[in-house]
Structure 1
Amino acid sequence: MSEWADPEPYAALRRLAGEVADVVGVGKVEVAGGTVVVSLPPVKRHEVAVWRLWRQLDAQVGASHPGCIAYSGASVEDPDLGRLRRPDLMVFPAVCLEDEGTPLRPADVLLAVEIVSWANPRGDYGEKVADYAAMGIPHYVIVDPRGGTGVVHATPGYRHRTPFVFGDTVRVGPWKLDTSVLLTYGPPRATCGGSAS
């Protein structure tokens, strides 16, 4: 069970998170477990996964949920739980972006996607599963480029879990994701100029 946050310490943590987020070169800044969590900037293959999944989802969500978009770069906040999370990718109504400076409400988020990082893989499989389930986000997808695997979680309470391996086409609610386009972490195949490194 997620704990309920004391509003005063959480407000202080939110202020600190905002200050840290303004520092150049910082990756994700989140609030969870009574602390500010800072992640390193992502590696290229992490960002390739975000971009390739975004393209697939964005091509589908307009038909299944008119007015919704797939988007990378927004945060979702539940002050009652004391949580501020920034998934790698989310699906939500486009109009939510018009509230400048305000994180999304969990009730607006249909899907959260996290690409597992080298730095903190446990967070995606443990704390974030609990947090997104407690927030009531209907679907949560973990994509793990370390071994080319992943898990689709679905409500209620993420009791329904569907594991997959890269190459599978997986169903996430009304959408399908072709994971054959995803890359595992490892040495790069070639530089941007085309020569092997």
Structure 2
Amino acid sequence: MTTASKNAQQGASHRYRAMRNFIQSTDDTVPGKLEVTKEGIVHDMMAPVGPHELTTAHIRKRLERVIPEELLAHTGEPDVEDESEGIMRRPDLMVIAWADMDVPGSFDPRTLVAAVEVVSRSNPDNDWVTKVRDYALIGIPVYAVFDPRTGTGAVLTDIHPTPDGPRYATRKDFVYGEDVTIADWTISSEGLPLYGS
């Protein structure tokens, strides 16, 4: 490694730690979620109640009926973090083993079985564009997106290398009402709420 590339890497790591520290210092004082992406801090002003939270609750309950006992459909903290990539995210729902939750600090994204996001009305590109890129980059093997704006979604799998870094190779789109397969388990998307006009 050249001195210039080592200095650039140290600068990026310092920048990431500064953003992470800022987010942690503002926790519970800023509405919504603050996360770190490759571009910097993103602020998702999701509504704390309503169709977003109801969708997440439905998906969690449906997944917990079909996943094995050693796994949990988790909807809380902490974040998932890959400091080497400069990414810290908090999925709406994570399928993770109970044993992999017993860690200090953030979850290792590579221990997640799947991440599920419910598209925010205020910032849909965060779920449909930057998280698609970031979740593949940090090694989350399955990423499911439910979009209450349109009553559609997609499940992305099969991370593979590309010139721009790891990306999902397979995308299976669905319409609300259809069965959705997330990793090894299939749930219904029937009756999920939509955002009103």
> TM-score under structure 2 normalisation?
0.85
Q: 1:97 aligns with which of 101, 110, 113?
A: 101
Over 3 Å counting, the alpha-carbon distance change for 1:72 and 1:5 in structure 2 is farther
Asked if residue 80 in structure 1 is aligned to residue 84 in structure 2, the reply is: yes
Cα distance, 1:33 vs structure 2: 2.7
SS at match of 1:153: strand
Over 3 Å counting, the alpha-carbon distance change for 1:122 and 1:179 in structure 2 is same
> 1:75-132: per-residue Cα shift (whole Å, max 9, x none)?
21111111000110010111333335x1110111110011011100011111100000
Paired positions, count = 180
Asked if residue 69 in structure 1 is aligned to residue 69 in structure 2, the reply is: no
Higher strand share: 2
Asked if residue 137 in structure 1 is aligned to residue 137 in structure 2, the reply is: no
Unaligned runs of 5+ in 2: 1-8, 160-166
> 1:30-49: per-residue Cα shift (whole Å, max 9, x none)?
11134222222424100010
Asked if residue 6 in structure 1 is aligned to residue 12 in structure 2, the reply is: yes
> 1:163-188: per-residue Cα shift (whole Å, max 9, x none)?
0000000212211120013111116x
Sequence identity of aligned pairs in percent? 34
Cα distance, 1:158 vs structure 2: 1.5
> TM-score under structure 1 normalisation?
0.85
Q: Which residue of 1 aligns with 2:31?
A: 26
Residues 46 and 120, structure 2, Cα contact 8 Å, conserved in 1: no
**Root-mean-square deviation over aligned CA pairs:** 1.9
Residues 158 and 168, structure 2, Cα contact 8 Å, conserved in 1: yes
Cα distance in 1 for partners of 2:138, 2:145 equals: 16
Q: Where does structure 1 differ by over 3 angstroms across 4 or more consecutive aligned residues? A: none
Residues 5 and 80, structure 1, Cα contact 8 Å, conserved in 2: no
Q: How does 1:178-189 map to 2 (within 5 A)?
A: 178-186=188-196
Amino acid at match of 1:31: V
Amino acid at match of 1:132: Y
